Amino acid sequence: MDQYSCLGLSFLGKCFYNPAQPTPVYFNIGNAIAALALTLAIQQFLSPIYRFRLRAYGLRIGYLILPVFLGFGCALVAALLPNLPLPRKSFLEYPVVWEIFGSVLIALAYGAAAFIVFRPARIYRFNLYWFVGAGAAHLTEADDSDRARFAEDLFGYHRNLARLVEYASAWDRAERHESWIELERLRDAGLPQSFQGRPPISAFYRFAHRKELAAASHAGTLLRILSDPQFCSVLVRRSPWLTSAALRFISARRLYAQQMVLFVQEIAVQSITNDESIIAKELGYEGFGATPYLSESLFGDWFMLRHYDPLHKMHFGVSNEATEGYVSRLNGICRMIVKTAIENREFYPQGYMSSVHAAYENVFRSLS
């Protein structure tokens, strides 16, 4: 039986298989067409959360289709090579090589798609801009189920929230830096070390920290978008345990960013005004009342009260009427806030106690 150089490379030894005239075809045109058709069909069935996960890394479905097209091209080359009068001096002149190239390209495309699509999106510095844009687009067109899935991606991996706060706080660090410089200037000039307002951030600081400040703008934008009432309503109705875990993580890590204040306050408003909120079930003595996780993480946590003032929006009133359920939830929450203040020996009125006062003022105003 004749022997041939394997793939035309002598160091690979001799083979009984003639790679120039292959009898078995491992990856033919039909396989490539089937893979291409499957790829084009899959994109029609991708749910919004899967499209979000692709966009969060700056990808489009077209980027994954391209390797499949290239694999189809490799299958065409492999089909044509046995009929061409080539000297077979290069391993690229053997069909099996092109079959391997085609199968590897398609395998990589499907592997990358599966890894990205079926894995929750994560925030890194390199994809922050894409994540923010993808998140904003997703929340614009999403229904409640899509919003709940988005919450799972955003809060399921706590480092996402930590990185958002870390990036967004760059503006706070810039303002503190300029405040220190202004205080030093006043001290050197022998003037009283006090000033009103916030000193402007110098052009030098903006240039030296331009990447950090750009990331802070993107992260702050997403945190403000998250304060959307419809999204926060889903958090307290359909994802209360996930929301509670995220709030506890914020408190445990002492995370704070000015841009996240409105987000926490909107969660608080929705938890009180929405009749389907889990807090309506946590105020009893049975069932969820035995484990009031969301209530305690939002209104029974000293750090959240002092830094985020959850009831602050009550200063401006709420659109809902003062129903019996609303007043009952407000009473239970305010009782928890007062209890937390007493336990932490905050006998001098704090800002969050002023919000409690404002909440009842709005109730009396609506009833009068």
Task: Provide the residue range defining the domain that includes 95.
Answer: 4-117
More confident residue, 30 or 242: 242
In contact, 74 and 98? CB cutoff 8 Å: yes
Out of 2-11, 83-92, 158-167, pick the least confident. 2-11
pLDDT surpassing 60 at residue 11: no
What is residue 1's predicted lDDT score, i.e. its pLDDT? 47
What is residue 315's predicted lDDT score, i.e. its pLDDT? 79
Stretch 286-304: mean pLDDT, rounded? 83
332-368 in b/e form (b: 16+ CB < 10 A) is bbbebbeebbeeeeeeeebebbebbebbeebbeeeee
pLDDT surpassing 90 at residue 230: yes
Give tens-digit pLDDT for 99-154. Answer: 788 788 878 877 877 788 788 899 999 999 999 999 999 999 889 999 999 999 99
Dig out the tokens for 349 from the structure.
């009125």
Same domain, 86 and 153: no
Stretch 265-290: mean pLDDT, rounded? 82
What is residue 106's predicted lDDT score, i.e. its pLDDT? 78
Same domain, 133 and 94: no
Same domain, 16 and 50: yes
What is residue 267's predicted lDDT score, i.e. its pLDDT? 95
Same domain, 306 and 334: yes
**% of the chain at pLDDT higher than 90:** 34
Q: How confident is the model at residue 82 (pLDDT cuts 50, 70, 90)?
A: low
Same domain, 102 and 132: no
30, 41, 76, 117, 294 from 37: Cα distances, Å: 10, 6, 16, 19, 47
176, 211, 237, 256, 269 from 131: Cα distances, Å: 28, 16, 25, 21, 27
pTM: 0.79
pLDDT surpassing 80 at residue 23: no
Out of 26-30, 151-155, 350-354, pick the least confident. 26-30
pLDDT surpassing 90 at residue 328: no
What is residue 225's predicted lDDT score, i.e. its pLDDT? 94
Same domain, 233 and 340: yes
Q: For residue 4, which phi and psi values (nearest 5 degrees)?
A: -135, 155
Closest CA to 216 of 167, 160, 166, 161: 167
Give tens-digit pLDDT for 159-207. Answer: 999 999 999 999 888 888 888 888 888 788 787 777 777 778 888 889 9
What is residue 251's predicted lDDT score, i.e. its pLDDT? 94
Same domain, 368 and 241: yes
Same domain, 164 and 214: yes
Out of 13-22, 112-121, 206-215, pick the least confident. 13-22
Same domain, 89 and 161: no
Point out the domain boundary residue: 204, 223, 242.
Answer: 223
44, 124, 143, 262, 303 from 268: Cα distances, Å: 38, 28, 21, 10, 15
More confident residue, 26 or 191: 191
Point out the domain boundary residue: 223, 256, 286.
Answer: 223
Point out the domain boundary residue: 175, 204, 223.
Answer: 223
Burial of 120 per CB tally in 10 Å (0-12, 13-18, 19+): middle
Q: Number of structural domains, the chain?
A: 3
In contact, 290 and 333? CB cutoff 8 Å: no
Same domain, 218 and 231: no
pLDDT surpassing 90 at residue 327: no
What is residue 347's predicted lDDT score, i.e. its pLDDT? 72
Highest mean pLDDT among 41-50, 95-104, 296-305: 296-305
| Opening angle at CA 152, ends 146 and 158, nearest 5 | 150
pLDDT surpassing 70 at residue 249: yes
Same domain, 197 and 213: yes
Out of 44-48, 51-55, 150-154, 177-181, pick the least confident. 44-48
Considering Cα of 285, then 286, then 288, then 293, what sign does the dihedral take? positive
Same domain, 315 and 365: yes
pLDDT surpassing 80 at residue 46: no
What is residue 103's predicted lDDT score, i.e. its pLDDT? 80
CA dihedral 139, 142, 145, 151 (to 10 degrees): -10
In eight-state DSSP terms, residue 300 is S
Q: How confident is the model at residue 226 (pLDDT cuts 50, 70, 90)?
A: very high
Give the mean pLDDT of the chain.
Answer: 81
